[in-house]
Amino acid sequence: MEPAVQVENLVKRFGSFTAVDGVSFSVQRGEIFGILGPNGAGKTTTLEIVESLHKPTEGQASVLGLDVQANAAEVKARIGVQLQASAYYSYLNLREILALLGSFYPHKASPESLLDRVGLADKIKNRISELSGGQQQRFAVAASLVNNPEVVILDEPTTGLDPQARRNLWSLIQEVNQRGVTVLLTTHYMEEAEAICDRLAIMDHGKLLALDTPRNLINGLEASYTVKLTMEKPMTEAQLKSLNGGVDVVHSGEQLGGDGVDNTYLLRLANSPSALKSMLDEISKAGLGLENLQVTPVTLEDVFLELTGSEFRD
Amino acid sequence: MMARNRQAIFWALFFPIMLVVVFGLFNFNGVGVAGVAVVDESGGPRAELFRERLEEIEFLQLEFDEISPTQAREKVIDGNLGYLIIIPDLFDNPSEQEAQTHEPAPVALVYSTRNPDRNQLVDGAVRNLVSDIHSAGAPVVPSRLLTADVIQVPEVDYFDNVLLGLLGLGIMTNSIISIAVRISTFRNQAILKRLLVTPLSIWKFFAAEITAHVLLALVQAGIILAVGVFVFGGKVHGNLLWVFCITALGSVVFLNIGFILSAWAKSPAAASGMGNVVAFPMMFLAGTFFSTAALPWILPQVSLVLPLTPMLEALRDVAIDREPIWDIWPHLAALGGWVLATSVVAVKVFKFR
């Protein structure tokens, strides 16, 4: 069976600006595939090529085995789309909007069942403006399901939502996926990518940097833990080096910046019980006063840092 | 869907009503200055004196020095000339006439039924003048000095003309501005983009928007005519069905212009401004309220290439002059050409985002 979505050597230039620079990936049927990257990474442009809103400068995109440029109408009929910033007619209620959108498709789901699925059954007569941010995003997901699509494409579905509403939407997306719908989404939340995506493509500056399951991406890092040390006094370069029985020093105090963090250091440690112990031994041996110590497992944020050499720009 | 935008509907319907009311309150039927042509068949000194005295009357303006009685009569019928005065051959030499009839030859005054108030005034003034001139000779019977030749024309006053101008104006302004603002709003809110990811074809979207707005235009037309006729006593003589057909055709042209403007407008407010910039000059140049013949410079020629001009001419020909629809085909062809041209440009320049 053909992959749900396949893009090959995709390039999109707007004038002299290259938004997407040679991206290739394929989304298997039934998975939740995420594209993670900061704003301006080229995620939305990539999706919009798949949705046939943009023509690629080079390369090609296909959905369910159909070239999107050659079969735009059929592709549009078989996918569901939630755009990053799109409004709906403000003079119609939810049921009417879904009925109107449904009328554009050969197969359509009933507005009642769609609203029921996203937990908005009691808002059927309300207008968009009467919904909370989280409800609006859930409605946008419902609207993307109006044609019983085989693939749904969600562009930053949880941006701007509070943590509660975000988690709520995650379970909705997972539920949609469990019914057999392939999900392709973008996000700039590391946590979200880690929580719901089966596989993840990391993009920055129009390029695909890595593609794997979130677990494999994290395991791919040599380090397993991040250690944040706050010392009584600043350490010398030599002292810092001697501590680092693990992997590397990520930040010195200056880089972390801010008030009263001059003596704070971020280190990564390999996944061995001895690494932490030897670091603490070194500290007491050198007689360095330790004010605070935080040990956290590495996350996608560290993966991103490793891949791009810079912090994630939210 | 459009019906839910109550505020837009309110303004769409309020604006034309306001216009009709404002213009209805003006007194367009005041006497003003009446155009008069004099055909002098006598050529004698008494006739010359008569002409001079005629010129002294304030509300008469002598026009058309060289004109035949038949031509002048045509102009009176068409409404391009107020009055025609024919001084008879024997005006200067009544004795010869009097030898046979004991009375001087009567002056003929030709006018139409268009302006009854003014007719009375002019008839009286001319009659007095003729009597004055003749009584210098011998006593005369004033009633026999002037024959009035009154031509019956359908009752048309300036307000009827303006009412159709308002109809065209209302449809033009609302069609251009409302669609430009609406589409611009849809684009700004990415509603158009949302439609673009569905299989809805572009032409269906256009057709749906145009159908809805043409229906609104017909309702507007109905309101303008109803207020004009029932409240202000305007009259529509011709076939109303054709009036509505012309309205629909004209509305499509202006909707297309609105689509074109929306392609350039960056925001709904800009779209509204652009719509006004296009609609406002057209209102004056196409003869909505005043005849374009009175326009200075090359503006009468400019008027001919504006889409509102054939729409108004078609409306007036059908509604006032009761012309059958097939007789006004040049206006309809011009409107049809505009529909075609604006459709091509609209589809070419239209942007979904």
Distance between CA atoms of residues A94 and A131, nearest Å: 10
| Predicted pLDDT of residue B8 | 60
Mutate to test the interface with A, among B192, B198, B204, B352 (most CBs of A within 10 A): B198
A14 CB within 8 Å of a chain B CB: no
- The model's pLDDT over B26-58, given as tens digits with 9 standing for 90+, comes to 444 455 567 888 888 877 787 888 888 888 887
| Predicted pLDDT of residue B28 | 47
| Predicted pLDDT of residue B11 | 61
| Predicted pLDDT of residue B97 | 54
Choose the weakest-confidence range: A296-300, B78-82, B160-164, B239-243.
B78-82
Predicted ipTM of the assembly: 0.77
Mutate to test the interface with B, among A86, A103, A127 (most CBs of B within 10 A): A86
Interface contact B198-A104, CB threshold 8 A: yes
Interface contact A104-B196, CB threshold 8 A: no
Residue of chain A whose Cα is closest to the Cα of B352: A53
| Predicted pLDDT of residue B27 | 47
Name the percent of chain A lying above pLDDT 90: 29
| Predicted pLDDT of residue B313 | 84
- The model's pLDDT over A19-29, given as tens digits with 9 standing for 90+, comes to 999 999 999 99
State the DSSP H helix or E strand holding residue B325, giving kind and residue range, or none if neither. Answer: none
Residue of chain B whose Cα is closest to the Cα of A71: B199
Asked if pLDDT for residue B234 goes beyond 60, the answer is yes
Name the percent of chain B lying above pLDDT 90: 6
| Ranges assigned E (strand) in chain B | 34-40, 60-63, 83-87, 107-112, 146-151
Unique residue bearing structure tokens 């001139």: B133
Mutate to test the interface with B, among A91, A126, A156 (most CBs of B within 10 A): A91
| Predicted pLDDT of residue A257 | 42
State the CB neighbour count (10 A cutoff) for residue B72.
23
| Predicted pLDDT of residue A304 | 80
Asked if pLDDT for residue B275 goes beyond 70, the answer is yes
- The model's pLDDT over A132-182, given as tens digits with 9 standing for 90+, comes to 888 888 898 889 989 999 999 999 888 888 888 888 889 889 988 999 999
Interface contact B196-A87, CB threshold 8 A: no
Distance from CA of A44 to the nearest CA of B (A): 13
Distance between CA atoms of residues B213 and B12, nearest Å: 11
- The model's pLDDT over B170-225, given as tens digits with 9 standing for 90+, comes to 889 888 888 888 888 888 888 888 888 888 887 888 889 899 999 999 999 899 88
| Predicted pLDDT of residue A27 | 93
Interface contact A105-B198, CB threshold 8 A: yes
| Predicted pLDDT of residue A67 | 92
- The model's pLDDT over A85-138, given as tens digits with 9 standing for 90+, comes to 767 888 889 999 999 999 999 888 899 988 988 888 898 899 988 888 888 888
- Residue A253's pLDDT band (cuts 50, 70, 90): very low
Interface contact B1-A89, CB threshold 8 A: yes
φ and ψ at B5, to 5 degrees?
Answer: -80, 80
State the DSSP H helix or E strand holding residue B307, giving kind and residue range, or none if neither. Answer: none
| Predicted pLDDT of residue B99 | 55
A:B CB pairs within 8 Å: 46
Residue pair A192/A164 in contact by the 8 Å Cβ criterion: no
Of the candidates A101, A81, A105, the one whose C-alpha atom is nearest the C-alpha of residue A184 is A81
Asked if pLDDT for residue A255 goes beyond 50, the answer is no
